[in-house]
Structure 1
Amino acid sequence: MSERQYAAHAGVSRGAVQKAKLAGRLALYGDGSIEAAGSDVRRAALTDPARQPPSPVRPKLKPVPEAAVAAVGETLREQGLSAPAVGGSTTFLQARTANEVLKAQERRLKLQKMKGELVARDRAKALLFRLAREERDAWVNWPGRVAALMAAELGVDAAVMHRALESQVRAHLGELADVRTDFE
């Protein structure tokens, strides 16, 4: 075969055949023509698989897990885009759109974090807990600070005033303790 004929046979360019010939990856006859069967075997053995043309036979594709398809649909619906029905087939364009949406959301979150607009959940919980504890401690100590002053203003016993204020503050703090924060 000539270089052109072998290029058509192998599904590559004539330049690729010439390079393979120079590199010694082809089986040649004495007159310089190409032996097709021997050259196919040598090219397959000596050529990097990543540089070979794709096979005309399509490889068998693995099935896509239902969870992945559902995630694509959920992402598309969140963005107000059309999504396949549950159990329906997702097109490549829909999956690619969902992937691009997720990448954009991820970039937005990274940017917000870099700007300091977002904080870690653990850090926010620790800060909220510390602030709540400081507030509670301030209220627990309040009756001891103001009971004597209020008792003098009202003309009552300071110990009685202190007990009354302390019981009311503790009851109120008990009500506030029922409030729960949910960061989930």
Structure 2
Amino acid sequence: MPRSGAEARRRLQQAALELYRERGYDRTTAAEIAARAGVNERTFFRHFPDKREVLFDGEADLRDALVRAVEEAPGDLAPLDMLLRAFRTAGRILEENRPFTEPRLAIIAVTPALRERDMAKAASLVDALTEALRRRGVPGRLAGLAAQTGWGTFHHAAQAWIDDPSQDLETHLQRAFTDLRALSGAAPSAQDRARTQP
């Protein structure tokens, strides 16, 4: 039996991940997840409101970290550079949790109910980033466009990292933002130029 709330939560997440991979999300119940984790069903619902939310734990912490990184970014950075700085923070969180992140993304990709929840969570993160950029003085319309574009670019980089783990997420993230600037015809930032120097 897990001795702490944090340990129970971790075991519930791991059990859910295993069962979703073995049986599929739709054929797995909260009671089965609890049993696999060695706790009762009431404990499951003390930690998670439903069986979808098991795979989205930490979303509030991630949002807070992203917003804080934008708020603390140097004042002379362009909006996309503020976001790149924020996504580097998120990237470190994903890299530390790769054994959970990789199968989690695979399960979400093939499960409509989880894709729907993932899109709702992404919309919430984009809204939070938009507001953080507005507070930094980026006009509303541009803040929204930057946040949506930045999130899409981050998601692209994360998928590239899953597909090609031979390079770290930081490398994939830097490449994705460099490609974004190339697509828009924007000149590389000073940071990009410094990174490409021999």
Same fold (TM over 0.5): no
Bigger share in helix:
2
Task: Compute the TM-score of the two structures, normalised by the length of structure 1.
Answer: 0.23
Task: Compute the TM-score of the two structures, normalised by the length of structure 2.
Answer: 0.22
Structure label with greater radius of gyration: 1
Larger relative contact order (CA 8 Å, sep ≥ 6)? 2
